[in-house]
Structure 1
């Protein structure tokens, strides 16, 4: 944990992220839950779970932590108890979002590249089991954060803010946990997603060459490849945006570990770089909405219906009242 961002830039950017991110992710949850986007049940389950965790990331990481720290730093959320609980929630939702992205990438990799395993793995039952398991493991992994902090100071018997206990810097167990935490999120997911995307691209290129040679009709497109493009575009858009937005965090963490350098004040460039990496994590929980809109025609149609629904409802009520 580190100090709250108080510069005007962050005081403006975080509310913008919240204002866009909360309704946008809620809209995705509503649209996907209706099951009218032409996606398989398996894909819909993963994307719906990802939208829910992204929504929780915006609520916990952006609104409660960052905006709360800027505008409401003396609220109950920043007592030691509130700060500790919010930290556990923030890291739990973050891990859930990251590993659901990995799970979705694995599912699409199996669907595209492993036809013999596809029938057994790419099912609604398997997706439900994996989503539930990831949620439980994300919660269990971050329980130790509840015991990391002590009060920064006490006023009138009330403990305020969170200060990391000294034992966390000296105990081999806590140091090992810190390393494990950063390896599991996001270093390992980053490498897994990168590797699976490389293998998927390689498989697609090889398959495309084979299908072009075997194509019988020259005047008609390959219908199967055309149908697979939607799934491929969605996979690459989600996974590549994850890689780009988390790359800065990984660079920051590795550089800090190698040099032992950290920031001291908001005027320190290292401080600004770390705050940017935090903002990129929140943007990653927002940009999936726009990826769905760009990649899926049916999603855009359902989004238009959802946006127009209040106006349609008002017009219907007006006509009904006029008839009466």
Structure 2
């Protein structure tokens, strides 16, 4: 009965930012099903891959001048946002989904702030992709306006404004949750008070669906259509600078399309879940699989840049080459220092032996 209650509460709130975590309140919930194993064994390599890849993206962009172009500002903000999303999900989602230990139940601050921080970062990363796509559309379609609009300063202001708006959108999660402590220390639960449940169950899902899926997907599709149409029309030989712009635009197309593929299924499943002839357990397993797919969007950008960006690949190879050279130089210095110390030691020992013989 407890398992059925957990599955029903989860299936009724497909999107994570409206879930009530009732499954965390049932102590006898079984964590040996497919979704728990998927989180337990699939999340750690995905998270590590994303963190390493986003770190390499930042290092490559630093080589190319981190604030030299507006595109680098958006890509840097996206890499930082994706890394923070993965770290926040590792604390807020992974222990509970995989092992049954929920960080939101540890204190009142964690209950009030954890989900707000996580979903603020998720929404901000989503809109960073939208802003980057719009910036590329302006660069390709309106080259005369890009010098005035597509500047590093404007890109920084845009990213900051999107982060603030994402926080405002999720600020209700701070005061619409409360920690209820039972008789035993392990009975604490983070739940939605009764007076807020109508909004959380009936209104917030549609707000999230529109602001996190419908609008971003629509803007990305329209901008990508305009970019592809312009690129197909302009097939003349380009200069080196225009070639870099073209490679960056292709990177943007890859990132935006993968964003739609990874994120849209979770929202489509949310809207159409009553029409799926599936059991509650199957709905829960599909739900968790889509959550993993959605978070995978924050871990694959490095590979997309490497596959579609020739200039990015060149800078990445130069970065590794420089690191190898530094490693060889450091290794040579260590060897020379070691040989000098060893030679000095042998010299002192020979001098001491000669003094003893005398």
Indicate whether the TM-score tops 0.5: yes
* 2:333 alignment counterpart: 320
Compute the displacement of 1:246 (Å): 1.4
* 1:215 alignment counterpart: none
Q: Name stretches of at least 5 consecutive residues in structure 2 with no aligned partner.
A: 1-18, 25-29, 338-358
1:241-280 to 2 correspondence within 5 Å? Answer: 241-256=258-273, 259=274, 268-280=281-293
1:190 matched to 2:217? The reply is yes
**Equivalent of 1:286, from 296, 299, 302?**
299
1:50-89 to 2 correspondence within 5 Å? Answer: 50-61=78-89, 63-70=90-97, 73-74=100-101, 77-79=104-106, 81=108, 82-89=110-117
- Secondary structure of the equivalent of 1:280? helix
* 1:9 alignment counterpart: 38
1:232 matched to 2:262? The reply is no
- Counterpart CA distance in 2 for 1:276 and 1:76 is 21
* 2:196 alignment counterpart: 168
TM-score by length of 2: 0.75
Compute the displacement of 1:161 (Å): 3.4
* 1:105 alignment counterpart: 133
- Are the aligned partners of 2:92 and 2:103 in contact in 1 as well (CA < 8 Å)? no
- Specify whether residues 137 and 264 from structure 1 end up closer, same or farther in structure 2 by C-alpha distance, changes over 3 A only: farther
How many correspondences in the alignment?
A: 306
Computed over aligned residues only, the root mean square deviation of the Cα atoms, in angstroms, reads: 3.0
- Counterpart CA distance in 2 for 1:97 and 1:200 is 21
- Are the aligned partners of 2:37 and 2:98 in contact in 1 as well (CA < 8 Å)? no
Q: Name stretches of at least 5 consecutive residues in structure 1 with no aligned partner.
A: 212-220
* 2:226 alignment counterpart: 199
Compute the displacement of 1:223 (Å): 4.0
- Counterpart CA distance in 1 for 2:45 and 2:272 is 30
- Are the aligned partners of 1:36 and 1:298 in contact in 2 as well (CA < 8 Å)? no
16-25 or 5-14: which moved more?
5-14
Compute the displacement of 1:184 (Å): 0.8
- Counterpart CA distance in 1 for 2:312 and 2:143 is 27
Residues 43-65 of structure 1, C-alpha deviation per residue, up to 9 Å, x if partnerless? 1000000000000111012x112
- Counterpart CA distance in 1 for 2:176 and 2:64 is 42
- Counterpart CA distance in 1 for 2:65 and 2:217 is 31
Residues 67-100 of structure 1, C-alpha deviation per residue, up to 9 Å, x if partnerless? 2224664465532521432111110000110000
- Counterpart CA distance in 1 for 2:169 and 2:306 is 33
- Are the aligned partners of 1:45 and 1:124 in contact in 2 as well (CA < 8 Å)? yes
- Secondary structure of the equivalent of 1:154? coil
- Secondary structure of the equivalent of 1:151? strand
**Higher gyration radius (CA):** 2
- Secondary structure of the equivalent of 2:182? strand
**Equivalent of 1:129, from 150, 157, 171?**
157
- Specify whether residues 170 and 323 from structure 1 end up closer, same or farther in structure 2 by C-alpha distance, changes over 3 A only: closer
Residues 168-224 of structure 1, C-alpha deviation per residue, up to 9 Å, x if partnerless? 3325x984444223211122101111111112222333444xx5xxxxxxxxx4547
4-13 or 154-163: which moved more?
154-163
* 1:21 alignment counterpart: 50
TM-score by length of 1: 0.82
- Specify whether residues 152 and 127 from structure 1 end up closer, same or farther in structure 2 by C-alpha distance, changes over 3 A only: same
- Are the aligned partners of 1:79 and 1:159 in contact in 2 as well (CA < 8 Å)? no
